[in-house]
């Protein structure tokens, strides 16, 4: 497999994934490389369904083997939501900071601090043939947002056995433990074997 398309317009995700791929000498294309800007509606009920919608769309549009991920945070104090609606949930607030304040307030009120990030990757190499790779990282919600690295909910998530948020870890440190790198490593192991 000479080329592989990563179906994402999220530049932070693309940078993160490219760093992981660099070690394996696999050529990774992004939507920007192919000048594609349209995306399908992510109306799946699970991370796996949304990833599959995107990887199928990318494969059908380009004919290039394509993978896509869907990721989100699940928070105990919010009944394990927002899950697949993580991006929309964040965008429903005036600012990222107000979203974080709301989540931290809920965890303090309920005393439920647990949370986890999950990533599902779908790889499409033929019409309607998908392979799914999952990654998950457990942790808890911090008492305040901290850190300048990462993106999304990283500033309020402390991975298990750590005392720093994901946003306080360098990209290299994050890539060693993150939900996305776990799923991507499974994908890469499949591709190189």
Closest to 150 in 3D by CA, of 55, 140, 159: 159
Alpha carbon of 19 to those of 12, 26, 28, 147: distances in Å? Answer: 11, 11, 10, 20
Closest to 110 in 3D by CA, of 135, 80, 88, 86: 80
Alpha carbon of 151 to those of 61, 88, 161, 188: distances in Å? Answer: 28, 15, 21, 23
Q: Of residues 35, 56, 69, 70, which has the active-site annotation? A: 70
* 69 is known as an active-site residue: no
Question: Which backbone phi and psi does 52 adopt, to 5 degrees?
Answer: -65, -40
Q: Helix H segments across 34-95?
A: 47-62, 86-91
**Residue labelled with tokens 């009120």:** 109
Distance CA 39, CA 18 (A): 20
* Cβ(144)–Cβ(98) below 8 Å: no
Residues serving a catalytic function are 70
């Amino acid at each position: 497999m000479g080329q592989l398309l990563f179906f994402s317009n999220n530049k932070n995700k693309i940078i993160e994934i490219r760093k992981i791929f660099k070690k394996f000498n696999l050529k990774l294309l992004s939507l920007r490389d192919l000048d594609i800007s349209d995306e399908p509606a992510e109306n799946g009920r699970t991370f796996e369904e949304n990833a599959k919608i995107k990887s199928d769309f990318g494969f059908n549009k380009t004919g290039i083997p394509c993978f896509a991920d869907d990721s989100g945070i699940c928070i105990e104090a919010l009944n394990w939501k927002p899950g697949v609606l993580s991006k929309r949930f964040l965008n429903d607030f005036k600012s990222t900071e107000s979203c974080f304040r709301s989540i931290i307030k809920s965890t303090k009120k309920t005393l439920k601090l647990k949370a986890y990030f999950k990533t599902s990757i779908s790889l499409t190499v033929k019409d309607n043939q998908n392979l799914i790779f999952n990654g998950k990282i457990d942790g808890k919600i911090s008492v305040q947002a901290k850190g300048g690295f990462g993106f999304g909910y990283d500033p309020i998530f402390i991975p298990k056995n750590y005392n720093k948020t994901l946003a306080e870890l360098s990209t290299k440190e994050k890539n060693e433990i993150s939900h996305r790198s776990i799923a991507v490593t499974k994908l890469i192991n499949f591709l190189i074997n």
